Amino acid sequence: MLQLYNSLSFDISKLVTKAYSTSFSRSVGFLDREIRDAIYSIYGFVRLADEIVDSFHDFDKHMLIREFENDFYSSLRDGISLNPVLNSFRLTVNKYDIDDSLIQAFLKSMKLDLQRTEHSTKEETDEYIYGSAEVVGLMCLKVFVNGNDELYREMEDPARKLGSAFQKVNFLRDLKNDTQDLKRQYFHNLAGRKFDEAVKTEIINDIEKDFSSSVEGMRKLPKNSRLGVMIAYYYYLRLLKKIRRTPAHKLLEKRIRVSDFVKIILLFKALIANRLNII
């Protein structure tokens, strides 16, 4: 019966992923079957933590994130959690030997959202992005390489760059919600400055450098994961292009999206690029 509960735990993490991100869940669907559950479990873990700090405004967020962290480490100690998402993540951490420093860095960034509303220096921005996004990419990389430490070390920097690019694109598309609703400022470029075309271009150029630095690493990904990662890569590239075309003041008024039709086109583009091993 424990096997049934563990299977249910992964199913619930999959439901969480599909409920919160259709685009990401679509990408995961193109990973090899044997690693999909692990990636769903990673997303479920980070999604719940993110929801605590971003959405649960009528509750004691400090207490909730503290209990979330304690419950996870109790599950590692006890070998089970009655929170299915934590239980599935625990299984993935143990199976793929995900380093605790990555988990701690992620939780630190989540706690920073409750302590710091502005990132006024590059060091502060880099620290937050490392913990909130880059380490998530590294957790996924642990799954992709499945114990190949040499390949992990080779892929570590490109994985971090790709995670950084994804997060910065998310910051730009969520600028309205972050600045107006959550009262947060993630880009140090905005310290003492108004968000205008010059600042937007500065940020986008930085993101494009991250994307460029990740390409060679994607080519080296194992076949079990390359297509799924490439689908996400093309999707975020298209988002960035749409953001570049959108006037700065409009980014403060609406969230940028990619149509379902364009997503289908990007899917076929990724399928062809993966088959030819070109990006």
What is the pLDDT, as a whole number, of residue 275?
Answer: 86
Q: Where are the beta strands (DSSP E) in the chain?
A: none
Q: Which CATH architecture has domain 1-96?
A: Orthogonal Bundle (1.10)
Q: What is the pLDDT of residue 60?
A: 97
Closest CA to 83 of 6, 183, 163, 167: 6
What per-residue confidence (pLDDT) applies to 43? 97
Q: Residue 256: which region, alpha, beta or left (left: phi > 0; alpha: psi -120 to 50)?
A: beta
List every span in the chain annotated with CATH 1.10.600.10: 1-96, 117-279
Q: Which residues pair with 118 in a beta bridge?
A: 185
> How confident is the prediction along the chain (279 residues), in pLDDT tens digits per residue?
899 999 999 999 999 999 999 888 889 999 998 899 999 999 999 999 999 999 999 999 999 999 999 999 999 999 999 999 999 999 999 999 999 999 999 999 999 999 877 787 889 999 999 999 999 999 999 999 999 999 999 999 999 999 999 999 999 999 888 888 778 888 888 887 889 999 999 999 999 999 999 998 998 999 999 999 999 999 999 999 999 999 999 999 989 999 999 999 999 999 998 888 787
Q: Which helix (H) or strand (E) holds 198?
A: helix 197-219
Compute the radius of gyration of the chain from its Cα atoms: 18
**pLDDT of the residue at 157:** 96
For 79: left if phi > 0, alpha if psi spans -120 to 50, otherwise beta; the answer is left
Torsion angle of alpha carbons 7, 142, 18, 203, nearest 10°? Answer: 170
Which two three-digit tokens encode residue 157?
A: 């920097």
Amino acid 146: pLDDT = 93
What pLDDT score does 69 carry? 98
Provide the pLDDT for residue 231: 94
Quote the distance between the C-alpha of residue 153 and its chain's center. 20
Residue 268 CB contacts under 8 Å (≥ 6 apart), including other chains: none
For residue 139, the model assigns a pLDDT of 98
Q: What kind of fold does domain 117-279 have according to CATH?
A: Farnesyl Diphosphate Synthase (1.10.600)
What pLDDT is attached to residue 233?
Answer: 95
Q: What is the pLDDT of residue 156?
A: 96
